[in-house]
Amino acid sequence: MTKRKLAWIVISLLGVVSLIGLVVGINSIQDITLTEQEVQSRVDGKLPLEKNGMVLNGLQVNLENNLLNVVASFEGKKWGQEFSATINTDGTPYYNNLDGTFHFRPNKITVSEIRVRGEAVSTKVEKFIDKYVDSPKINQNAGEIATKIEEWVNGSIENTTTFALQRIPIYTLPDTLKGNTARMLLKSVDIGNDSLTLHLSFWQFTKMVLMYVLIFIVALAMAVAILMNPEWGMVLLFVGSIGDIGS
């Protein structure tokens, strides 16, 4: 058996082994599915979250068909008063490729309830006006003023909710082979009943690995060829030296 034939046999065997490794790698990487309970557990680990006297102490996640529902619970001291609030919102997850995290993007935030020392904001404002304000014009428009203040308070709560949702990931890809692969090959995200599924593109994975296998085989073939034909190496060195002289 000639050296040339032996070299090509070695290259062919390496190619077969690489392809087998590729197939095994593809079969070992599957879609990532999280149950609603698993997502909830990860979110709970990020709480409580505080901003400007508002404390987010509860974030209930509900997964339904193609929809993510979140119920947020706040409490704390704001505007010189103790308060509690409940917010309800529907939306979809979005992916932050830089951090490998999934966050919730709300479509619309609705303040379901907000209580200031156990009373509605509008009721609290009207009682304050009746007790401390001695102006016929203000007293006459107490209901409208109370409504405006309640809208302003609701807006403040909604802004804080948006801030919190941007900083609390519903899922973070693990720093493992599977997690790092998912970062590169994530194709889509589906929300089912009580589950969140991350779909990976295996064809993209296949193309990437085949490219690296081809580069490896070409490099190995060149190395074997140079070992079997040392004069080729001298030619390459000569060509490289010409480039150095030109620069």
**198: phi then psi, degrees, rounded to nearest 5:** -100, 115
Count how many domains the chain has: 2
Would you state the pLDDT for residue 155? 85
* One domain for residues 143 and 231: no
Would you state the pLDDT for residue 190? 82
Within a domain: 180 = no
Would you state the pLDDT for residue 30? 67
Q: How far is the C-alpha of 43 from the C-alpha of 93, rounded, in Å? A: 13
* One domain for residues 51 and 145: yes
Residue 130 belongs to what domain range?
32-174+189-200
Within a domain: 137 = yes
* One domain for residues 230 and 145: no
Would you state the pLDDT for residue 158? 86
pLDDT in tens, the chain (247 residues): 566 565 556 666 666 666 555 555 555 556 778 888 988 998 898 888 888 778 888 889 888 877 788 898 988 877 677 888 898 988 888 888 778 888 888 888 888 888 887 788 888 788 888 877 888 888 888 888 888 888 888 888 888 888 888 888 888 887 777 677 677 777 778 888 888 888 776 665 666 667 777 777 777 677 666 666 666 555 555 545 554 444 4
Residue 82's contacts (CB-CB under 8 Å, 6 or more residues apart) are: 75, 76, 116, 117
Q: How far is the C-alpha of 63 from the C-alpha of 40, rounded, in Å? A: 10
Would you state the pLDDT for residue 233? 55
| Residues 36 and 52 sit within 8 Å (Cβ to Cβ) | no
Would you state the pLDDT for residue 246? 47
User: Domain with 92 in it: what CATH number?
Assistant: 3.15.10.40
